[in-house]
Amino acid sequence: MAEEREETELNTATTERQEPSARAATGESAAAVVELVGVTKTYPGEEESAVADVDLRIREGEFFSILGSSGSGKTTTLRMIAGFEQPTIGRVFLDGNDATDVPPYRRDVSTVFQNYALFPHMKVQANVAYPLKMSGVPRREIGPRVKEALERVSMAEYAKRLPHQLSGGQRQRVALARALIRGPRLLLLDEPLGALDLKLREEMLFVLKRLQREVGITFIYVTHDQGEALAMSDLMAVMNKGRIEQLATPAEIYAKPATSFVAGFIGKTNLLSCRHVEGNRAEAGSVPLILAEDPKQSQFTLSVRPESILIGTDCHSLPNRFVAEVSEVLFLGHEREVLAKIGDQRLMVRSQDLTVGPGDTIEFGWDPKEAVIVEATGG
């Protein structure tokens, strides 16, 4: 049942994804809040591009995540959207207008900085009032709006404190209130939960999601934490070495990773390098496999998630079925992670059977539909 639901979600995702690009092709860009076209950023004096040839289209009201490991170019991408960096090549569109050369203070974009960047000499209320003051909102309107904004993040009682008198989580909330008070079209969050401990982090995830739903602003959320990205996003981009490896819904990215990098980065997976034999048959090393469909290349990588591998009697009806020797077992509490050897291949499977130990033989297999052919990632 769960599979079926994933399937349908996946389908809608694919159609949704095609729609914007089709619209871009006809030159219409009405609903895109942000659009990056062929953006490359090379910092002066650097050989490699921090961001390379990125195309992005983010629509109104979306919770969009950029996921990638440290140094993959997430912050640089965000800074180009905010206007702190200029792309070396390419254009940045905001609301359909070319904003590439527009300075940050003329962009209707707010940022929650990785280190919050609250002004240290201003009280919490002055910090939150600052964007209103700068955009010339009459003084008597500012007070109530600041109060409301602070209440929304449960920080009203700290209005008279200075930033250094707050804890990390409290600063985070103030930074959020400051970023949201003008009601920007777009909110950029650069690893906003990075400095918080686990419990606060989970709490803030809920706060963020609730705020986004309440205010209906487009969020671009940068993180290196796949869990956060999967949980929060409507759409997400996985970045690696300055490039977008895949742009899709979390469900699609999880179920159908486009590249071996994505497959390896999101959750655990088995990556098998395979050779096409004929029809839907292939070989991983010396191990024969059945595929769901004919592969297009003669050499390819297959991703099989441990949780789609069934063990014991469950796998008897499956076309891919193996008897393997257990080489290592890792106890994870509710289950065991088992490293099993078939021929010259090693696969990771999950087992609820607590008696499995090294040297035992187990039987397992998977439905060909659960295995995904991914592009090999260069490097």
Ligand X SMILES: Nc1ncnc2c1ncn2[C@@H]1O[C@H](COP(=O)(O)OP(=O)(O)O)[C@@H](O)[C@H]1O
Residue written as tokens 């686990």? 198
Q: How far is the CB of 43 from ligand X (least distance, A)?
A: 3
Q: How far is the CB of 197 from other proteins (least distance, A)?
A: 19
* Contact pick of 41, 152, 178, 350 for other proteins (by CB under 8 A): 178
Q: How far is the CB of 182 from ligand X (least distance, A)?
A: 25
Q: What is the C-alpha to C-alpha distance for residues 56 and 97, in angstroms, rounded to an integer?
A: 15
Residues that bind ligand X (CB under 6 A): 43, 46, 50, 68, 70-76
Instruction: Give the tokens for residue 249.
Output: 């819904």
* Contact pick of 68, 73, 87, 131 for other proteins (by CB under 8 A): 131
Instruction: Give the tokens for residue 296.
Output: 């297009």
Q: How far is the CB of 251 from Mg ion (least distance, A)?
A: 26
Residues that bind Mg ion (CB under 5 A): 75
By CB under 8 A, is residue 134 in contact with other proteins? yes
By CB under 8 A, is residue 172 in contact with other proteins? no
| Residue 83 vs 257, nearer CB to other proteins | 83
Residue whose CB is nearest to Mg ion in the complex, by number: 75
Q: How far is the CB of 91 from other proteins (least distance, A)?
A: 21
Q: How far is the CB of 243 from Mg ion (least distance, A)?
A: 16
Contact (Cβ atoms closer than 8 angstroms) between residue 222 and residue 111: no
Pairing of strands 186-190, 109-112: parallel
* Contact pick of 27, 105, 144, 379 for other proteins (by CB under 8 A): 105
| Residue 130 vs 366, nearer CB to other proteins | 130
Q: Which does 50 bind (CB under 5 to 8 A by kind): other proteins, Mg ion, ligand X, none?
A: ligand X
By CB under 8 A, is residue 102 in contact with other proteins? no
Q: How far is the CB of 117 from ligand X (least distance, A)?
A: 16
| Residue 49 vs 75, nearer CB to Mg ion | 75
Q: What is the C-alpha to C-alpha distance for residues 284 and 289, in angstroms, rounded to an integer?
A: 7
| Residue 57 vs 79, nearer CB to ligand X | 79
Residues numbered 32-91 forming contacts with other proteins, rule: CB under 8 A: 82-84
By CB under 8 A, is residue 31 in contact with other proteins? no
Query: Would you tell me which residues interact with other proteins (CB under 8 A)?
Result: 82-84, 103-105, 109-111, 113, 115, 117-121, 130-131, 133-135, 162, 164, 178-179, 182
